Amino acid sequence: MAPSCAYFDRGECRSCSLLALPARERSASKLSRFTRDARAALGDVPISALWEPPRAFGSRTKAKLAVSGSMRNAVIGLPDGASGESASLLDCPLHAPRLNEVLRFVKGAITEFKLAPYHVERRQGELKGIILKCNEDASQVLARFVLRSPEALPRVRRAARALVERLPFVRVVSANIQPLPAALLEGGDEIVLTEERFLWERYGDVLLAFQPQSFSQVTHATAEALYRHVAGVLSGSGARSLLDLFCGVGGFSLTAAGGMEWGLGVELSENAIECARLGAAENGATQLAFESGDVEAFLARYSGKKPDAVVVNPPRRGLSPAIVEGIKALRPGLIAYSSCNPETLLRDLRLFAPAYRVASLAPFDMFPLTEHLEAVATLARTV
């Protein structure tokens, strides 16, 4: 039997486009489309079964929601592309329950602390959105208020104090300033409003640190499986050294650290690199180093030791041809390419030929009940 969601049943939210299908059909739908596209692009490459979290409802540990309406009747949910108004999603069953507890607090705080929701057409109001993240057991929650300007900061500070007092599992609260009248849910400036700056999250035996602006996956169980899969691939290949490109807070390299003599992670975000270094210290991974910089520029100038393996986890746009050539020039024995966009993944994999062949593809269900999936490609050097 398919799980039930009141928002879906009432037609208020259709994000979970596969919700009405039985579980077996949902899995088959995702895997068959990915398999068809992969075989069309790459030929008869081995593809493993779709990894899925044990359950869909309650699995999401991250939520990004827009705020609209008025101070008396605020709406927190998904924005309508045409009007900018939101469909209320205070109790999305995909979310870890404590995220929804925080959302219900925020709805009341909008009235209590006079946080005027932003109106897209009039370009008035201050509170644009709410971004939440919790750790693996929801014992810690990070909350971000997305504001049009610093004008509401004094009121948000009061709301933040009330939030951590009433819901003590909320450890980190920040204000993000996003002044542009554009479809961007967050801006570049972040003001941390609590003494604690970091949320710690356990992935297997590894602790990772996150700050408010740190990228993190939305489904903890799937992310843990993803990290574990890549670590297993590296271990099975006998790799003892690693370049981790677009490393974020270090999830891949820290999970694989036990088998490494040395490793270097590269990421544009200084915020993420600070977290990766904290994670290395916390996990005793002294053989790993992390540096902030543009990956393409890093590869163009890199003259250090050549790694046995390269892990790459780019944004949705995938890799530039220059990055592909830079990786190939290092001649690693193995490349593990993790992607949230199968289309750009399959495009990029063809660019590694003929120097590398795709040894396997492993799909992961990061967004249960939707059409989206992530995939890891393992490439082996042929020459």
Residues designated catalytic: 340
**Could you say which DSSP state residue 307 is in?**
P
Which H helix or E strand runs over 335? Answer: strand 334-339
- For residues 211 and 192, give the distance between their C-alpha atoms in angstroms, rounded to a whole number: 9
Contact of 101 with 84, CB cutoff 8 Å: no
**Could you say which DSSP state residue 49 is in?**
P
Place of tokens 């990894």: 51
Which H helix or E strand runs over 256? Answer: helix 251-256
Task: Give which of 321, 327, 304, 320 is closest to 381, Cα–Cα.
Answer: 327
The pair of structure tokens assigned to 64 is: 């990004």
Task: Give which of 360, 311, 300 is closest to 333, Cα–Cα.
Answer: 311
- For residues 245 and 5, give the distance between their C-alpha atoms in angstroms, rounded to a whole number: 39
The pair of structure tokens assigned to 359 is: 């040894």
* Pairing, β 127-134 against β 62-69: antiparallel
Q: Alpha-carbon Rg of the chain, whole angstroms?
A: 21
- Side-chain half-sphere CA neighbours of 103 within 13 A: 29
- For residues 188 and 224, give the distance between their C-alpha atoms in angstroms, rounded to a whole number: 28
For Cα atoms 105, 110, 111, give the angle at the middle one, nearest 5 degrees. Answer: 105
The pair of structure tokens assigned to 163 is: 């939030």
Task: Give which of 2, 8, 52, 12 is closest to 374, Cα–Cα.
Answer: 52
Phi, psi values for residue 308, rounded to 5°:
-70, -30
